[in-house]
Chains A and B, each alone.
Chain A
Amino acid sequence: METKTAVLENLTDEQEALLDKTADAYIADLTVSREPDIAVINRWLDVAYRLYDMKRPTRVEIAASPEAALKLASELTGEKQTEMDWCGVGDGGWVAFYDVFHQIGVLTDNESAEVIALRDYGKVAWDSVLLDECAIVIRRPVAIRLDDDGNLHSTTGPCLEWEDGAKDFAYHGTWVPERIVMAPKSFTRDEILTITNTEERRALGEIAGWQWIADQLGATVVDKWYDRSLRLRYELLAYGDGQKLLRKQSPALKGGKQPTYVEPVHEGLKTAKAARKWQATNLSPEQCERDPELKYGVEA
């Protein structure tokens, strides 16, 4: 079969504008909740199974949530299933490119048929678990909440709500336990200290307030240091019987934000500057206090 390749050397202004317009449309569509359309679903499943030289199974189940899909998949296979197949709304990032190529005539209707089938599938399906005997299609959530940067996020409730009542919680794109969002100030001093994931600790600190965290721990500032080169603030906090925390400002992230983190450091540290060095080395607190200088070639 003869293949003709269409090549465009330059995009017109209208085609350039179409790039942004298509991206915006895909992004705006992410938060739309839709009823599953079985014709659309089957059209893509035919393609997906054909890629593996298989036929679409006669059994197609619509799952109300990822949790429900994995439960069903575990029952059907007799083994605990923990992974989905990354087939659904998450494909929009690359599907959008081919969608544009189709719209501007670089790809024919025939050449783009399969990717368009996936595009339409993503509009009704969050993800999938594709088994030999059964295709499990996860319907889109009934509610999705994002921050201004498009990350899954809510400080007042779940960021994802599913048809079966399942809920997921995230803070600026980081998955967090429900309690951090819904009852942040229910954490006791000991519970705060057992959170080892600094992103979770930051989420708790920012939702409950760092001052509340410091108060809960009974922490007081014992030393401050300002890194003039990067304009970053460091504070050494003490609580309890001499335990220490380092409160530090992040270098500017990609979006320009500079979140604050609080991390436990060695109780023998006396200055914020030495605590910063202690975190990066295997030196003792005493060694860091004697010579707290530490320079990075780059901090990001």
Chain B
Amino acid sequence: MNLYARHGDLVIEKLNTPVTGELKKGLNIVFAGDSSGHPHTLIGEVLFRRDGRRTFVEVPVGKPLELRHGKSTGHKTISLAPGAYEVRPLRERGDGSDRAVED
């Protein structure tokens, strides 16, 4: 199995088909912002849809967009090439159900 990337507690899976559903336009959208105050921010304008802890994103044709971690000494910046993605947190075992990792 191959996945596009892992960025700290985020998994980025490239989709083979465009994102479906009602998409919103967003600038510098944040993934899994959490109480530690270290959000992962996708720099640039994208179309996206939230579905619980998952976010579906369309990176427009053009330059790749940078995914940056909010902590100055945190995870290194990675790039997302144009295309469709599902971005979701790593999961961990919770009480009775699985929950997302927060970093």
Interface residues, chain A, with chain B CB atoms under 8 Å away = 149-151, 172-175, 196-200, 243-244, 250-255, 257, 261, 263-267, 277-282, 291, 293-300
| B102 touches which of A175, A198, A266, A296 (Cβ 8 Å) | A198
Residues on A with beta carbons closer than 8 Å to the beta carbon of B93: 243-244, 264-267
Closest to A203 in B: B36
Interface pair A280/B92, CB less than 8 Å apart: no
Residues on B with beta carbons closer than 8 Å to the beta carbon of A199: 36, 38, 102-103
The 5 A-B pairs of least Cβ separation, nearest first, read A264-B93, A300-B76, A199-B36, A279-B90, A255-B73
Interface pair B36/A296, CB less than 8 Å apart: no
Residues on B with beta carbons closer than 8 Å to the beta carbon of A243: 93
Q: Which of B9, B35, B92, B98 has the most CB of A within 10 A?
A: B92
B interface: dominant SS: loop
Q: Which of A174, A293, A300 has the most CB of B within 10 A?
A: A300
Residues on B with beta carbons closer than 8 Å to the beta carbon of A196: 94, 99, 102
Q: A280-B11, A281-B1 are in contact. Are A173 and B72 (CB under 8 A)?
A: yes
Closest to A282 in B: B91
Residues on B with beta carbons closer than 8 Å to the beta carbon of A174: 36-38, 71
| B101 touches which of A266, A267, A279, A297 (Cβ 8 Å) | A279
Residues on A with beta carbons closer than 8 Å to the beta carbon of B2: 294-297
* A-B contacts besides A199-B102, A296-B3, 8 pairs, CB < 8 Å: A151-B71, A174-B38, A197-B103, A265-B92, A280-B3, A280-B6, A293-B1, A297-B3
Closest to A264 in B: B93
Within the complex, what minimum Cβ distance (angstroms) separates B89 from chain A?
9
14 A-B interface contacts by CB (under 8 A): A151-B71, A173-B71, A174-B37, A197-B102, A200-B36, A261-B103, A265-B93, A267-B93, A279-B101, A281-B11, A295-B3, A300-B76, A300-B77, A300-B78
B44 close to A (CB within 8 Å): no
Interface residues, chain B, with chain A CB atoms under 8 Å away = 1-9, 11, 34-38, 71-78, 90-94, 98-99, 101-103
Interface pair A294/B72, CB less than 8 Å apart: no
| A300 touches which of B1, B6, B71 (Cβ 8 Å) | B6
Within the complex, what minimum Cβ distance (angstroms) separates A245 from chain B?
9
| B7 touches which of A149, A150, A300 (Cβ 8 Å) | A300
Within the complex, what minimum Cβ distance (angstroms) separates A134 from chain B?
28
| A129 to B74 CA separation, bound complex (whole angstroms) | 30
Interface pair A280/B38, CB less than 8 Å apart: no
Closest to A151 in B: B73
Q: A252-B76, A280-B6, A297-B5 are in contact. Are A197 and B35 (CB under 8 A)?
A: yes
Q: Which of B9, B34, B36, B72 has the most CB of A within 10 A?
A: B36
Q: A200-B36, A264-B93, A279-B101 are in contact. Are A291 and B1 (CB under 8 A)?
A: yes
| A295 to B71 CA separation, bound complex (whole angstroms) | 25
| A279 to B11 CA separation, bound complex (whole angstroms) | 9
Within the complex, what minimum Cβ distance (angstroms) separates B100 from chain A?
9
Within the complex, what minimum Cβ distance (angstroms) separates A234 from chain B?
13
Residues on A with beta carbons closer than 8 Å to the beta carbon of B3: 280, 294-297
Within the complex, what minimum Cβ distance (angstroms) separates B76 from chain A?
4
| A254 touches which of B35, B73, B92, B103 (Cβ 8 Å) | B73
